[in-house]
Structure 1
């Protein structure tokens, strides 16, 4: 049983909500946390950029990663959206079991 944490940034709260609701509707994620007003600094096309974004934390099972990545790439407004997958090596066993249960029917 492998639970994953996926990081995705969004340009604004309505976009983040839409992405989260779509992923939840498809049972691809068990939970999404939205943290508004994250300041992101990065270089894009040789220019220093600074934007206020929404950081999304997606909790899912390993089996849904490819479907989530596909959904994010298809529905995200960025040309190159952030998509980072982090292994969850330890956690509350009941919570981890809940994540697995909630995502077992992913991509319905």
Structure 2
């Protein structure tokens, strides 16, 4: 049986854009909760150059049936040309939390 819950990670260029994206995902009932880590340091290759910059990390909690809509919404609202979107299967945890997610996302 495929995992029913997903954790999606993405980054934004600042906390304001991260908050806007998080609020939109929760308002649209695409995410039950979004955690925002305000300051991370990222080092990556972009257009042939090594870039080091401060970003904001988002951890988006959702259900599998909402995954494609979450991804399309991130792409639509994000200001990066190529936003990070990584999806992890949630295979266990607090059942009471998952019941809460079910209620919120219905």
Q: Summarize deviations over 1:2-52 as a string: whole Å, max 9, x none.
A: 110000101001000000111111000000000011000000111000110
Runs of 5+ in structure 2 lacking a partner? none
Distance, in Å, in 2 between the alignment partners of 1:19 and 1:51 is 20
Q: CA deviation at 1:101?
A: 2.1
For the pair 1:58 / 2:64, whether they are aligned, the reply is: no
Q: Structure 1 residue aligned with 2:38, among 36, 54, 59?
A: 36
Runs of 5+ in structure 1 lacking a partner? none
Aligned to 1:75: 77
Q: CA deviation at 1:96?
A: 1.3
CA-based RMSD of the aligned residues comes to 0.9
Matched pairs, number: 104
For the pair 1:24 / 2:26, whether they are aligned, the reply is: yes
Distance, in Å, in 1 between the alignment partners of 2:69 and 2:44 is 27
Moved over 2 A (4+): none
Aligned to 2:48: 46
TM-score by length of 1: 0.93
State the SS of the aligned residue for 2:92: coil
